[in-house]
Amino acid sequence: MRLTITHYNHTEIPDIFNLVEREGVQRVCFYHLAYVGRAGSLSKEDLNHSQARAVVDLICNRTADLYQRGLNKEVLTVDNHADGVYLYLKLKSQDPSRAEKVLTLLRTNGGNNAGIRIGAVDELGNVHADQFWQHYSLGNVLQRKFGDIWLDTSNPLMRGLKNRKGLLKGRCARCQYLELCNGNLRVRAEAVFDDIWAEDPACYLTDDEIGLVQ
């Protein structure tokens, strides 16, 4: 089961968990809203930061409850890499040894991998940095080999996505957990600020949590 979390349905997440349990659903994905494509005009329907934190808390608590009762479901949150950092910070105070394992996994994953380890090829052969970059083609596999397109850093977007840390601005540029989220969704920053390298507006971590307050 997959659904995108919005201002209109986030209060129904407990019912979604009830449905998952009742119907024997083995995998459920909760997507954070990405304001691109058909959702490009929906930024105002996104959760505010406090709501997003509450939703992630709820998902974590309900998932833990399922496992404690022997119902081993696969529960994912998608499209906001702040979730991984937030989970690490929660575990750091609750279960430090497990938090270290989570930290290792987050470092291995490396956060958002658009243009690095994730790409998308549409039905016309156009290559995109990931499924959210449909508005920007890096080349076409009918005209050029995929590997040549993917490794061509003369393209400014591809070059930037592969080496984005020095380009990021705002809170993302100064975040102590940048290596874990890699700047989150660049398309969300572009949609809100008209700047690919601006901070991700959907990051709900506080300045204190990301090391901006000493």
Q: Encode the chain (214 residues) as per-residue pLDDT tens digits.
A: 999 999 999 999 999 999 999 999 999 999 999 988 766 677 788 999 999 999 999 999 999 999 999 999 999 999 999 999 999 999 999 999 999 999 999 999 999 999 999 999 999 999 999 999 999 999 999 999 999 999 999 999 999 999 999 999 999 999 999 999 999 999 999 999 999 999 999 999 999 999 997 6
C-alpha pair distances (Å), 176 with each of 35, 98, 108, 165, 212: 26, 20, 16, 12, 8
Burial class (CB in 10 A: 0-12, 13-18, 19+), 50: exposed
Q: Which of 84, 59, 47, 62 is nearest to 209 (CA)?
A: 84
Rg (Cα) of the chain, in Å, rounded?
A: 18
DSSP state of 40: T
The pLDDT of residue 172 is 98
The pLDDT of residue 35 is 86
The pLDDT of residue 70 is 96
> Which ranges constitute the DSSP H helices of 24-155?
49-68, 82-94, 96-109, 146-150
Residue with tokens 């089961």: 1
Contact of 186 with 132, CB cutoff 8 Å: no
Contact of 56 with 50, CB cutoff 8 Å: no
| pTM beyond 0.85 | yes
